[in-house]
Chain A
Amino acid sequence: MSDRAAGWWFLLLLSAAPAEVGAQPAPVWQDSAGRLRTRLEALRDSMLQGDSTVEEIERRGDLILGASPGSRAAAGPALSRLVAARERWFGGASPSPDGFRIVLRSAPSEDRTYTIVVAGLPDTGRAPRSERPVLRSRQLAESLIDLYGEMMYQSAGPGLLKWLDLPLPLSLPDQERRYLAMYAVVTGTGRAQRGCVAGRLGDCAYVLGLRPPETEAPGGAYGSLVRTDFLLAALELGGRDAWHRLTGSAPGPIEAALAAAADLPADSLLARWREGLLALRPAQGPLKSEIAATAMAWTGLLVLAALAGGRSRWR
């Protein structure tokens, strides 16, 4: 086709086209832009999670729970236990001011069955974020509580973490934690440790790493097990706002922060914690009355059985 013919064809097409193209109305444009943004966010989110099957299944206040299909059954109970533990120890506080998202993914492999991702919102990489593999569904709640507790301790600043060193898992049952702490306290062999057991609160403060020693050669201090127990005792005594008071008083001496958390003078806190631990010592020693009664009852029955065997004589 010559250039001239092509020119004619171009003019013909121009005359056939509509005189003006209608502009897209603003609401429609906004709507399509919104939909595009939502799809982009979902795409970015699924890339971040590495799992496009994760869907939001529950919201409790500022906590959002997402789960992949294989972990949805276990997700609800785990969230309930986390909410209870969070309310008890942290009074609903969160390491991220804009809310929190928990994602449970089921991805069976050699070393894991589930993966827990706990992330502050917005999950852009700036908010705190942590991830943990979990082997069994019954460990989900404990792992979730432990992960959340670790993030809360980190959010309280370096002072608390340095003092705690290696805090105990938050999901450890109260009785177990308190018994371990009691055993560690009562069997401590340092001079100040013995002084604390004997009731000298200054020694208790030293062995907990709160104050300098009052005596020469005071010996060692208690480890993170006892310190975690002391922190949790302060939070328990302080009630719902204890965590807020603890973090609100930082940066400062850890003793003052713990006293503020418990809403008690430091010595009163130390005394109540010590008394509570020592009260856990076994009251009855190795012999319990119900066990003694059981032994006597069974012995009586056995003797009666031996005496009643007379009908068969000696054959």
Chain B
Amino acid sequence: MLEAMIRIQWKACRHVAIALAVAAGALPIVSVRVGWRGAEANLPRFLTELQLWGFFYPALAAVAAVALAAVIWLSDRRGHHLYALLLPVPRWRYVLLRYLAGLVLLLPIGLALWLGAVAATSGLDLPPGIRVFPHALAAKFALALLLLFGIAFAAASASPRATGIGFRVLGLFLAVHVAVILLRPGTNLLWTVVTALGVWPGPLAPLGGRWMLIDV
């Protein structure tokens, strides 16, 4: 059944998955090639530019995760989940199959980035003291992809009622935030929550830190 699910999802998502894999493979190569000219004369500038390119890795992971999660659940939403209801499997098993098939679609994207990172760093004549991290960067990207896909998948698989409740809670929180800001300008609830989510052990902590393919 998993095989059938993979086949169905591949048919639905292959264009998106291939485009994302190409982008993932090209990102490390482009980031190194663009800045490498003159890097021997100005390594700090090259590394600073590479650090700026590093912002694209979590961004690409987010785009890939949201796009794939949305496309995976698109047919179910269009058909009001009739296909799922007709299958003789409980909902949790159906969701699990969708998730595992989604992970298979993530594989080429992570793999493309790893190959791109290896290719980008393999021909470089780096001075002593400078190190390359193609494998660690690819592993970090894969983890970010996995995490963000988990978030997007959980949101996309939620029922309309659960989604509605989520949006209402979010709206209520924003209203409380604005009220608190007006009453006590020194208290910023939104920033507190964003910080809690982005700092270890928050769920978005893996997206932070340095995304350096080449570093000291």
Contacts and interface: CB of A to CB of B under 8 A. Distances in A.
Given A189-B43, A292-B143, A294-B205, A287 B99 contact: no
A296 interface: yes
Given A187-B44, A286-B211, A295 B144 contact: yes
Given A287-B140, A309-B159, A314-B80, A303 B99 contact: yes
B91 A197 contact: no
Contacts, number: 137
A22 B132 CA distance: 96
A198 interface: yes
Given A197-B127, A312-B159, A286 B154 contact: no
B203 A285 contact: no
Nearest to B150: A302
Contacts of A299: 146-147, 150
Interface string A283-315: 011111011101111110011011111101111
Most buried by B among A183, A188, A282, A295: A295
B40 A298 contact: no
A182 interface: yes
B84 interface: yes
A285 B84 CA distance: 44
A310 B200 contact: no
B interface bracket (residues with beta carbon within 8 Å of A): 35 or more
A198 B129 CA distance: 7
What is the interface of chain A mostly: helix, strand, loop, or mixed?
helix
Contacts of A198: 128-129
Contacts of A182: 216
A307 B96 contact: yes
B191 interface: no
Interface of B: 40-44, 47, 76, 80-81, 84-85, 90-92, 95-96, 99, 127-131, 133, 136-137, 139-140, 143-144, 146-147, 150-151, 153-154, 157-162, 200-201, 203, 205-206, 209-212, 215-216
The 4 closest A-B pairs by CB, nearest first: A314-B81, A302-B150, A310-B91, A285-B136
8 contacts: A186-B129, A187-B47, A282-B216, A285-B131, A286-B133, A292-B143, A299-B147, A302-B153
Given A299-B147, A309-B159, A314-B80, 19 more contacts: A182-B216, A189-B40, A194-B128, A286-B133, A286-B137, A286-B215, A288-B209, A290-B200, A291-B143, A291-B200, A291-B205, A298-B147, A303-B153, A306-B158, A309-B95, A309-B154, A309-B162, A314-B84, A314-B85
